[in-house]
Structure 1
């Protein structure tokens, strides 16, 4: 069985404080421009946490490196969520990698499910569907996959930190 994963497109870190995290990772990776969003209901919907209905929110900062790698910082707000779980177990650290994949979103989830890897958290942010696959014990981190409609444009960030 061939994996649908084609490449890593994002490195995501959990932080206790988004602004402090931005300064920390700016020094490490040299990323100068961060777009900040608060992601919460009602735009965050259809949420599942360990297979059950969920409700959570977070603050997020996104930066792009010159080679196109996306860096994401997540500050959990409300929960429960896998972000809160991670902070309790590991503290601030690399939480997940997001990957491109062949086929469609449902086929990628089906592929993982067939090899015993199920989503541990999933939902929609606006029109974007996302799923975090339970791969931490197999590869040391979680894999996230997205389904972004071709014509979709992200909302404007609430602020840009330079």
Structure 2
């Protein structure tokens, strides 16, 4: 279906400080950029088919060309709180980025046709679109598909340059 290298590995945690420190030591990530209180609201995000309303603290870094993302839920139900409740802190998803909206939408639609439903989706400020699909029955809790417009690429490139 896709011939892409994942661009991001993400963990869900209750303690950003501890997870940043562990991943810095294990991967060589140098600087983390925190985005506290990111609101995923009902106008831009769905969770299990209904309007979403939750807040998470997010931290980003890089190990080489791979983005590392840490997500610490703050309030409201989400796939992040579900994961913490079910499995505790840990590896949550990998992300595949598509070069255009059409490729992103085609991948999400194909996953659904193949029995891997979208469990959370939305559009972030700056136009980034994301959809988490699940193949939980096969041991794949979440795979994130994303479309990253030029402004978001520039922001991520800035974070990557901070590692040098």
**The TM-score by the shorter chain falls in which range?**
0.7 to 0.9
Look up the match of 1:99.
96
For the residues of structure 2 that align with 1:77 and 1:65, how far apart are their CA atoms?
A: 26
Tell me the C-alpha RMSD between the 2 structures.
2.4
CA deviation profile, 1:87-119 (whole Å, cap 9, x unmatched): 011111100000134752111111111101111
Which of 9, 15, 18 is 2:16 aligned to? 18
For the residues of structure 2 that align with 1:41 and 1:100, how far apart are their CA atoms?
A: 20
CA contact (8 A) 2:98 2:148 kept: no
Cα displacement (A) at 1:25? 1.5
Superposition TM-score, scaled by structure 1 size = 0.84
CA contact (8 A) 1:4 1:111 kept: no
User: Moved runs in structure 1, 4+ residues, more than 6 A?
Assistant: none
Partner SS state of residue 4, structure 2: strand
CA contact (8 A) 2:98 2:147 kept: no
CA contact (8 A) 1:128 1:146 kept: yes
CA contact (8 A) 2:93 2:141 kept: yes
How many residue pairs get matched?
154
Look up the match of 1:90.
87
CA deviation profile, 1:26-73 (whole Å, cap 9, x unmatched): 12222111111121156x84211111111111111111112x011111
Look up the match of 1:118.
117
CA deviation profile, 1:7-30 (whole Å, cap 9, x unmatched): 211110001011222112112222
Point out where structure 1 has 5 or more consecutive residues left out of the alignment. none
Partner SS state of residue 117, structure 1: coil
Look up the match of 1:69.
66
Q: Which moved more, 1:97-106 or 1:53-62?
A: 97-106
Cα displacement (A) at 1:137? 2.7
Superposition TM-score, scaled by structure 2 size = 0.83
Q: Is the alpha carbon distance of 1:138 and 1:41 closer, same or farther for their aligned partners in structure 2, counting shifts above 3 Å?
A: closer
Look up the match of 1:49.
47
